[in-house]
């Protein structure tokens, strides 16, 4: 599947957490990856601040002992948490770092995890409701460890109201295993030899000396990290040089390239579409036959509890770029009923660039909803987002709208660049790739500039957050744009391209990408035209290629 190429040990962790149900394991992996992307947690270096201080604080720790059935014990000490001097990112980094180490144990993978939230001697100032929700969301469905139960120790009276709400964030079958206990009662559930003394146990455990890594340690890309999986489009042997590509097209002619595309088109999708087919989600699909593969779909943060089957769904798919995981989000043209979901996705994935390759109306048919303010200076509200068009630049083949996205819930503002490509003909494909090549170059430069302007705390992939690309269905022109970008990036890197394999692999992440054979042929000719423009072909290899 296309959820990412990971090592065998990593795959086994996620499979064991879901009892070797491959589909559920892929969903779990995607949820884990999305959580880390959303929180900006990529490389984790325990030597760097503020993570090192979080680890040394002992706020969160995995105890060395286990319960009677072998489950690992994770302890969060609420009185050590100071929301005013730390961040959710730092706390979650510390938790993920320690849990990643804990599940290296096969026993922990098999027997699961118990979470102890110790509120002894804590005050209301130590309580962080949003952080609690994030931790529960991580443990219940975004981390490869089976959450057996949650013990809340010595909860004060004021905690009753938030506790009633927090219980909604765990699955119904687990709610009966989320319980409040007094410190001395914990020994009725967990062996005293596994509990620290302040919780009625006999363990002499000391967090900093046994759990925090030494100053010389570091954990980065060279270590196993399931969030940093490689792209499906990597440098490899095979492919064609541009001269070989020209000879390939000359030899096969249009008919042969068409047959090549037909072979790809006949390949069955490499996954399932269960979420897209749910009755509650069908109304969010623009076209009934253009659905999202379950393993690569973009998951929105749920607005309600797990009983809400619609709040995490959007018809959008993560797609890898050349040597970049999740370089793009390929999606349909938003419907009026999905405008809010679209902007939620843009916000949650920290998107900087939106590439739109269709007009709102073509040939008298609505291809996409008007989801952004069309006029300069205008502001529109979509759910809890205010979208303001601050400036419009008009070019020969596209328009660039500079948007300000304001989250009324958090008070944060972000800048998003919206590209509208207007030179794709109503019928077929362009006669020349020149305009599309210029457009791609402009998008790449803008993405690079936007990434450089990110907050210094950005520790994500060098290429930045994913670029949202859409047309009407999110497979035709969208697939064409992404295929070109991948092929040309590879050409510049290692001097070869493989259009056929690029499209085949792309379709494992966004099914049916490249919708027609002339779009497929256009990709071949665009690579050749690019090579001519950049001096990689000294003569015109094909005289006036007949595009259609």
Residues serving a catalytic function are: 471
Coil/strand/helix, residue 401: strand
Cβ atoms of residues 467 and 447 within 8 Å: yes
Q: Which two tokens stand for residue 337?
A: 């009923």
Task: Report the C-alpha gap between 327 and 127 in whole angstroms.
Answer: 37
Residues in contact with 112: Cβ distance below 8 Å, sequence separation at least 6, in sequence order: 71, 72, 145, 146, 147, 148
Please tell me the number of Cα atoms within 13 Å of 119 on its side-chain side.
Answer: 23
Angle at 87 between CA 84 and CA 90, to 5 degrees: 140
d(CA 234, CA 320): 10
Cβ partners under 8 Å of residue 414, min gap 6: 347, 350, 404, 405, 407
Q: Which residues are CB-neighbours of 369 under 8 A, at least 6 positions away?
A: 333, 334, 335, 336, 338, 339, 360
Which residues are within 8 A (CB) of 459 and not within 5 positions of it... i.e. 6 or more apart? 40, 41, 42, 43
User: Residue 320's closest CA among 452, 447, 228?
Assistant: 228
Specify which residues 380 forms β-bridges with. Answer: 387
Q: Using CA atoms, how far apart are residues 493 and 141, in angstroms rounded to an integer? A: 38
Q: Please, what is the end-to-end C-alpha distance for the chain in angstroms?
A: 34
Q: Is 468 helix (H, G, I), strand (E, B) or coil?
A: strand
Read off the tokens for 379: 């502001």
Q: What are 94's two structure tokens?
A: 């510390």
b/e burial code for range 188-203 (CB count within 10 A of at least 16 → b): eebeeebbbeebbbeb
DSSP letter at 353 equals: E
Q: How far is CA 225 from CA 21, 32, 158, 262, 324, in A?
A: 22, 11, 39, 38, 15
- The token pair at 97 is 């770092």
Considering only CA atoms, which of 218, 225, 212, 220 is closest in space to residue 62?
212
3-state secondary structure of 319: strand
Beta strands at 113-118 and 72-77: parallel, antiparallel or unpaired: parallel
- Do residues 148 and 177 touch, judged by C-beta distance below 8 A? yes
């Amino acid at each position: 599947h296309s959820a990412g190429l990971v090592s065998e040990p990593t795959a086994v962790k996620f499979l064991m957490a879901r009892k070797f149900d491959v589909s559920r394991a892929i969903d779990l992996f995607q949820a884990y990856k999305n959580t880390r992307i959303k929180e900006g947690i990529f490389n984790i270096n325990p030597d760097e601040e503020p993570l090192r201080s979080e680890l040394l604080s002992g706020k969160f720790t995995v105890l060395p002992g286990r319960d009677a059935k072998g489950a690992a014990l994770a302890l969060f000490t609420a009185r050590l948490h100071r929301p005013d001097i730390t961040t959710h990112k730092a706390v979650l980094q510390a938790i993920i770092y320690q849990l990643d180490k804990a599940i290296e144990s096969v026993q922990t993978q098999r027997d699961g995890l118990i979470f102890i939230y110790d509120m002894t001697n804590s005050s209301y100032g130590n309580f962080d409701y949003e952080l609690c929700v994030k931790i529960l969301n991580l443990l219940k469905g975004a981390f490869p460890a089976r959450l057996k139960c949650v013990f809340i120790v010595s909860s004060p009276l004021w905690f009753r109201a938030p506790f009633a709400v927090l219980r909604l964030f765990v699955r119904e079958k687990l709610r009966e295993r989320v319980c409040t206990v007094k410190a001395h009662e914990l020994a009725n559930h967990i062996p005293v030899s596994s509990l620290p003394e302040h919780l009625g146990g006999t363990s002499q455990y000391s967090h900093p000396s046994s759990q925090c890594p030494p100053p010389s340690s570091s954990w980065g890309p060279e270590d196993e990290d399931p969030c940093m999986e490689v792209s499906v489009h990597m440098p490899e042997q095979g492919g064609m040089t541009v001269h070989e590509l020209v000879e390939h097209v000359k030899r096969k002619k249009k008919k042969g390239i068409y047959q090549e595309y037909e072979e790809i088109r006949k390949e069955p999708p490499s996954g399932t579409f269960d979420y897209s087919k749910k009755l509650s989600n069908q109304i969010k699909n623009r076209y009934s036959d253009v659905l999202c593969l379950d393993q690569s779909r973009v998951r929105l943060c749920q607005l309600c509890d797990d009983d809400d089957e619609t709040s995490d769904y959007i018809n959008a798919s993560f797609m890898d770029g050349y040597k970049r995981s999740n370089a793009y989000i390929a999606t349909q043209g938003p419907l009026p009923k999905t405008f809010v979901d679209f902007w939620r996705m843009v916000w949650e994935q920290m998107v900087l660039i939106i590439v739109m390759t269709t007009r709102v109306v073509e040939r008298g048919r609505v291809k996409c909803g008007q989801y952004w303010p069309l006029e300069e200076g205008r502001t529109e509200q979509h759910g809890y987002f205010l979208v303001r068009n601050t400036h419009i630049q008009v070019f020969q083949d596209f328009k660039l709208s500079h948007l300000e996205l304001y989250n009324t819930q958090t008070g944060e503002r972000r800048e998003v660049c919206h590209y509208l490509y207007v030179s794709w003909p109503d019928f077929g494909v362009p006669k020349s790739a020149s305009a599309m090549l210029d457009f791609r170059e402009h998008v790449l430069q803008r993405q690079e500039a936007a990434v450089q302007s990110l907050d210094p705390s950005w520790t994500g992939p060098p290429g930045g957050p994913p670029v949202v690309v859409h047309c009407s269905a999110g497979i035709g022109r969208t697939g064409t744009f992404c295929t070109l970008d991948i092929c040309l990036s590879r050409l510049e890197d290692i001097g070869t391209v493989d259009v056929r394999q690029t499209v085949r692999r792309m379709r494992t992440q966004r099914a049916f990408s490249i919708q027609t054979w002339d779009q497929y042929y256009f990709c071949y000719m665009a690579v050749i035209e690019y090579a001519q423009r950049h001096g990689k072909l000294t003569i015109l290899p094909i005289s006036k290629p007949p595009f259609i």
